[in-house]
Amino acid sequence: MYQQERLNEIIKILKSTHYATVDYLVEQIHYSPASIRRDLTLLEKQGIVKRSYGGVEINDESYTPFKFRQHLMKSEKNKIAYAASKLIKNGDIVFLDGSTTVQYMGHYLTDKKDICIITNNMMLASYLKENGIRVYCTGGELTELPGTLSGIIAANGFASFHADIMFFSTDGVDESGVVTVKEDGNFLHNNAMLENSDKHVFLCGSDKVGKYSKLVQCNLSVIDCFITDKKVSDKLINAFPNTEFIYTEN
């Protein structure tokens, strides 16, 4: 296992347990205590975890970097992205946000005919262009490596187009159907997409269901399609009869 894989696994475990001893991480990941301690030192320097004598806890105030998030729940994100790609028709104009879940859609769009993509993810834009797809990048502040653009300029970029369908993911949706985000910049460009597209598709891993962040983006009443890997509560489904819920796992 490479160090990046160990780091991703440690974050995944701590997201679930919030606290773990070094011995527990050694047992779960099957690597030496010395290797695990080095990994924890790196994660602590990046502000992702807090270490204490004999253990470590996730820093709830930290923002997990893109390069780590794109590997968390990789299989689930891939299945969600595949299901989402099926909603795109030949000839569609499509908004794609800069989230890691939406980025997985790129591999499933190369066989689409005459589609146009507008995105704030420069890495995704480059990949799609290399595969013959017409792409517009929004511009904006480079807020996250390797290439996520955000802020008012990105929002204005999305607002310059009208899309047939949009795809986005956020930091969470609570049990009442309120969709929230942590970052102001993400709120701005998500709002521009919601206002300037005909169909709204929300991609949300089960790890984000029941979660709440500081900024209210919208609620599920404005979402046409909610795609996730596990079934949500009947209470949530019944509260939003006009939203289609798609599950990638039984």
Tens-digit pLDDT profile for residues 221-240:
999 999 999 999 999 999 99
The answer to whether 121 and 105 have CB atoms below 8 angstroms apart is no
Mean of pLDDT values over 161-180: 96
What is the pLDDT at residue 70? 65
Q: Are residues 16 and 82 in the same domain?
A: no
Q: Which of 61-75, 91-105, 139-153 has the highest mean pLDDT?
A: 91-105
Q: Strands, DSSP E only, in the chain?
A: 19-21, 49-52, 55-58, 93-96, 116-119, 134-137, 141-144, 148-150, 163-168, 172-173, 178-181, 197-203, 215-219, 225-228, 244-247
Residues 40 and 121 in one domain: no
Distance CA 248, CA 69 (A): 20
139 and 184 belong to one structural domain? yes
Boundary of a domain, candidates 16, 41, 62: 62
Q: Which two tokens stand for residue 141?
A: 């502040």
Contact assessment for residue 144 and residue 63, using Cβ atoms and an 8 Å cutoff = no
pLDDT at 62 over 60: no
More confident residue, 1 or 39: 39
In a domain, 45, yes or no: yes
pLDDT digits (tens, 9 = 90+) for 114-156: 999 999 999 999 999 999 999 999 999 998 878 899 999 999 9
Total domains in the fold of the chain: 2
In the predicted structure, residue 168 carries a pLDDT above the cut 80 = yes
User: 67 lies in a domain?
Assistant: no
Q: Are residues 213 and 106 in the same domain?
A: yes
- Assess whether pLDDT exceeds 90 at residue 169: yes
The answer on 95 and 8 residing in a single domain is no
Do the domain assignments include residue 68?
no
Strand 225-228 versus strand 197-203 pairing type: parallel
> Does one domain contain both 182 and 129?
yes
pLDDT surpassing 60 at residue 22: yes
Q: Which of 62, 84, 107 is the last residue of a domain?
A: 62
Q: Which pLDDT does position 60 carry in this prediction?
A: 65
Give 61's DSSP letter.
Answer: T
Domain extent for 125: 74-247
